[in-house]
A and B are shown apart, each in its own frame.
Chain A
Amino acid sequence: MSGIHGRYLRIDLSRGTSEHVAIPESVSRRLLGGVGLGTWLLLRESTPGFDPLSAEAPLVFAFSPLVGTGLTTSAKFAVVAKSPLTGFVCDALASSHFAIAGKRMGIDAIVVKGACETPSEWVRGVLRPTASWGRSAAETTSVLGGEGRVAAIGVAGEQLVRFATISADGRHAGRGGLGAVMGAKRLKAIVVAGELETPIADRTALEARADRLRARAAGPETAKYRELGTVGNLLAFDRVGALPTRNFQTSHFEGAEKLAAERWRGERAHRRAACAHCTIGCEQRYASRPGGAADVRIEYESQFALGPLVGVADPDAVLASSARCDALGLDTISAGATLAFSMECGERGWLEGAPAFGDDLLPWLDRIATRDGLGDRLAEGSLRLAREIGDEAVGIAPQVKGLEMPGYEPRALQTMALGLAVSSRGADHNRSSAYEADFSEEVDRMHGDARSVAAAVAAEERAAILDSLVLCKFVRGAMGDLFEESAAILSDLTGEAWSADGVETVAKRIVDLRRLGNEREGWQPADDSLPKRFLEEPIPGGPAVGARLPAERLRDLIRSYYLERGYDESGRISSDRRTAFESELGLDLTGPASGGADDA
């Protein structure tokens, strides 16, 4: 099968060794690369119930069949591990030359196991002490960049902050705390380089297909991302009552105008940039202060989490916080949401010394990353902090399965509410993207029903394919029928006949495999839900005033989702199906009876 190398590199940090291990072609056909292959490697290389911060925990960097093909947005890789934040299967994607250079080593993935005795860096096969411990990922990259392409952690990863990131080319595998997994191994950086080209079955046909996709990706379907980027969401979400504000207490922010990218355009320097091999160029950089150079990369999720969610309306402060998170290696969503949660706890008198809404976040981000004072407790994430405080606090902690919620108010976006509740990664906007239906006439966004279930299932499957090929989500609008076009691409690439149905089957398999992985690690039905606040309180004001998501409605949506997926009423996959997965994929998916976020 072309498009892959059929092997991965297993690095054992405890022994200082590495070896190539074969990947059966049947696995590549069944799961492709990225999150599909990465999940398989994680489950294959671990024993049920393992501690994500232990030496035995695998940390997987998975490339994909399309890496190196020149298809727009295909230079992406998935980092896969058991999340120290959720205790479940977690994958995070980043776009960078790291993916291209890594695959040129003649491998489809890297699996890092073991732990170094002292802080180290792995550079093209050599494990050596690092001089970069205590530095940012960007500084580390500038030191090591001459030797290859770098993936590195910042101070937060070193300090095992449960929402630390892994960075490459200034982009971040952000969610779930995978930087802490790397930090627990005392591994500062991985540097890759190679010369091997990806074998392509029909290069001419694939290049022609890539040209057509590139042309479409320059069209109206991606115009919003090119012209404004995701920061264009903020004001729109505010106007429809979907902008989480002050720890999700409401969904309309009085300072939204000041944080709107539409306004920034006239006030501060701006420039666009693009990831490796991307022709969309959604990255938006703005001057951190009027009059300065356009130096800060900002996305909607960072803008919302470090702005409205924490009651901050000063754009300079939001841009500075985003830059600080990047420098420290903190996931902006979890950092902002955990701080927002602590702020509300402080207001209620539950948490002494907590910051207040609207406070300067910079010292707090430093305290989290260095685990200084209250920052040490915040570094554990909102769910663990809430459990320390008490049950009432758990009800307002903005998380699902321990992962902090992205910038979509679930009461006003109820297809997304379902997507957030059932996602294997936790509160997640990238493995579901169910919000697409809410922002259409396809569903009644304020009243989830059967249409929402169908939309959430379809969105999950589209994401599973895009994240395994891997292609950027922003190219989705430029593709006609995603499964058909993916099948055509895979046929040209692999030299094998792929069908749209076959691709869809892969998507369903990946969704199921992640659920089986979570079951192995202790998932329980109660993990598929939303915090009490969303099920008991209507939105108190703003455009979506009165929007409610009663617990019964969410339960019905979840039950229908399980039915649609062929799970039992409690959301479990039948033992026959699990056995079939084990046999097809050579995995042991039987796990201990407990685990999950409680034990992580």
Chain B
Amino acid sequence: MSVARAGIVLCGGRSSRMGRAKAWLPWFDGRTLIEHVVERIRPAVDEVLVVTSVALDLPALDARVVRDREPERGPLAGLRDGLAATSAAHAFVTATDAPFLTTEYVDGMLSRRAACAPVEEGHVQVLSAVYPGEGAAVAERLLEEGRGRPRDLLEALDYEALDANDPALASAPWKGFNTPDAYLDAVRGEDPDARCRIEFLGRAALASKSPNLEVPVGTLGDVLAQAARACDLDLDLVEGEQVARGHLVSLGGRDLVRDLSLPVGPDERISVLDAQAGG
């Protein structure tokens, strides 16, 4: 089926500075960031494609999942795979960490029917831009030539540079985050009272006066400290920069972690488990 407008979400990055897959970071109302971004794009396009590596499972989305054939080659390879997978004349392309994206912005960008991207203080926002469908073949050629930046593609497509100071773009919906602090700042900016849920299981439940609590979002270290104080926990959960050896923490039911610097997001459910599983 031929479509006119597509949205492409690139989420193959390793999120190494964040320590957690960005796609699965919580973003209010029990939704993950990838769910939120897809929801924002969906009304403005005929189809949404999510380009991801095989190493990342995704929640159920109103989108087509496209596998990034060469995740090690960076975003241009993913962009190529996304453009190649759609018959749309134009596609709006974004990264996963774009919670401030609006349907109106995507609609406005696609209404230009041409390659275009905002430019802010000299930086081309290549992952908040429109690419024409034929960009797939151009991206392939650029990759073969060893030119792996999305900006090379935009330039090869003779894109229109949009002034980020234009009032229509003033909300800077391309703003994202790469570190726990930046993510938590964004969350608190949206809701200063954002909270997460913590549940003590196993031995921690036996040692706690209240095994289920709500505390403000923060790093895992912050959250555990607040919860331990709030429920008068008779157990030491922290050992240096890590969760103590006898315990393990589940973030949102997916990541099993001990690193106290990881971020815990809004409405996220954290479970403190015994590390000795099985038997």
Answer yes or no: are A and B bound together in one complex: yes
Chain B residues, CB < 8 A from A438: 256, 277
Assembly CA distance A225 to B276 (angstroms): 8
User: Do A440 and B256 have beta carbons less than 8 Å apart?
Assistant: yes
Assembly CA distance A445 to B253 (angstroms): 12
1/0 contact trace for A217-248 toward B, CB 8 Å? 00011111101111011011101110000000
Q: Does A502 contact B (CB under 8 A)?
A: no
Chain B residues, CB < 8 A from A301: 279
Assembly CA distance A474 to B253 (angstroms): 25
User: Do A439 and B57 have beta carbons less than 8 Å apart?
Assistant: no
Known: A224-B276, A232-B202, A439-B277. A240 touches B253 (CB 8 A): yes
Q: Does B274 contact A (CB under 8 A)?
A: yes
Query: What is the minimal beta-carbon distance from A510 to any residue of chain B, in angstroms?
Result: 21
Interface residues of A in 407-434 (CB under 8 A from B): 408, 429, 433
Known: A227-B206, A239-B273. A439 touches B279 (CB 8 A): no
User: Do A444 and B55 have beta carbons less than 8 Å apart?
Assistant: yes
User: Do B275 and A439 have beta carbons less than 8 Å apart?
Assistant: yes
Q: Does A446 contact B (CB under 8 A)?
A: yes
| Nearest-neighbor residue (CB-CB) of B57 within chain A | A546
| Nearest-neighbor residue (CB-CB) of B207 within chain A | A227
Chain A residues, CB < 8 A from B202: 224, 228, 232, 235-236, 262
User: Do B60 and A545 have beta carbons less than 8 Å apart?
Assistant: yes
- Supplied contacts A473-B279, A545-B60, 10 more A-B pairs, CB within 8 Å: A221-B246, A224-B202, A235-B202, A240-B250, A241-B253, A262-B201, A282-B279, A301-B279, A439-B273, A474-B279
Chain A residues, CB < 8 A from B205: 262
Assembly CA distance A433 to B252 (angstroms): 25
User: Do B278 and A230 have beta carbons less than 8 Å apart?
Assistant: yes
Please pick, from B54, B57, B254, B274, the residue contacting A228 in the complex, using a CB distance under 8 A. B274
Chain A residues, CB < 8 A from B258: 441
Chain A residues, CB < 8 A from B275: 224, 439-440
Interface residues of B in 173-232 (CB under 8 A from A): 199, 201-203, 205-206, 211
Interface residues of A in 502-551 (CB under 8 A from B): 538, 542-548, 550
| Nearest-neighbor residue (CB-CB) of A233 within chain B | B277
Chain B residues, CB < 8 A from A300: 279
1/0 contact trace for A255-277 toward B, CB 8 Å? 00000001001000000000000
Chain A residues, CB < 8 A from B273: 236, 239-240, 439
Please pick, from A239, A435, A546, the residue contacting B201 in the complex, using a CB distance under 8 A. A239
Top 9 A-B pairs ranked by shortest CB distance? A543-B253, A230-B279, A439-B277, A224-B274, A546-B57, A262-B205, A239-B271, A236-B273, A232-B202
User: Do A548 and B57 have beta carbons less than 8 Å apart?
Assistant: yes
Q: Does B167 contact A (CB under 8 A)?
A: no
Chain B residues, CB < 8 A from A542: 253
Assembly CA distance A459 to B246 (angstroms): 19
User: Do A228 and B276 have beta carbons less than 8 Å apart?
Assistant: no
Interface residues of B, count at CB 8 A: 33
User: Do A546 and B206 have beta carbons less than 8 Å apart?
Assistant: no
Interface set of A (CB-CB < 8 Å, partner B): 220-225, 227-230, 232-233, 235-237, 239-241, 262, 265, 282, 299-301, 408, 429, 433, 435-436, 438-441, 444-447, 473-474, 477, 538, 542-548, 550
Please pick, from A223, A225, A544, A546, the residue contacting B58 in the complex, using a CB distance under 8 A. A546
Assembly CA distance A327 to B42 (angstroms): 58
Query: What is the minimal beta-carbon distance from B254 to any residue of chain A, in angstroms?
Result: 6
Interface residues of B in 241-279 (CB under 8 A from A): 245-246, 248, 250, 252-254, 256-259, 269, 271, 273-279
Known: A440-B256, A546-B57, A548-B57. A236 touches B206 (CB 8 A): no
Assembly CA distance A435 to B250 (angstroms): 15
| Nearest-neighbor residue (CB-CB) of A252 within chain B | B253
| Nearest-neighbor residue (CB-CB) of A220 within chain B | B246
User: Do A236 and B277 have beta carbons less than 8 Å apart?
Assistant: yes
Chain A residues, CB < 8 A from B211: 262
Q: Does B240 contact A (CB under 8 A)?
A: no
Chain A residues, CB < 8 A from B245: 220
User: Do A239 and B253 have beta carbons less than 8 Å apart?
Assistant: yes
Please pick, from A236, A240, A447, the residue contacting B274 in the complex, using a CB distance under 8 A. A236
Interface residues of B in 38-69 (CB under 8 A from A): 54-55, 57-60
User: Do A538 and B278 have beta carbons less than 8 Å apart?
Assistant: no
| Nearest-neighbor residue (CB-CB) of B211 within chain A | A262
Assembly CA distance A229 to B206 (angstroms): 13
Query: What is the minimal beta-carbon distance from B102 to any residue of chain A, in angstroms?
Result: 27
Chain B residues, CB < 8 A from A473: 279
Known: A223-B203, A232-B203, A545-B60. A445 touches B256 (CB 8 A): yes
Please list 27 pairs of residues, one from A and one from B, whose beta carbons are closer than 8 Å in the complex, sorted by A's number.
Answer: A221-B276, A222-B276, A224-B203, A224-B274, A224-B275, A227-B203, A227-B206, A228-B206, A230-B278, A232-B202, A233-B278, A236-B201, A236-B273, A240-B253, A241-B254, A262-B206, A300-B279, A301-B279, A435-B278, A436-B277, A439-B277, A441-B257, A446-B254, A447-B54, A538-B57, A543-B250, A546-B57
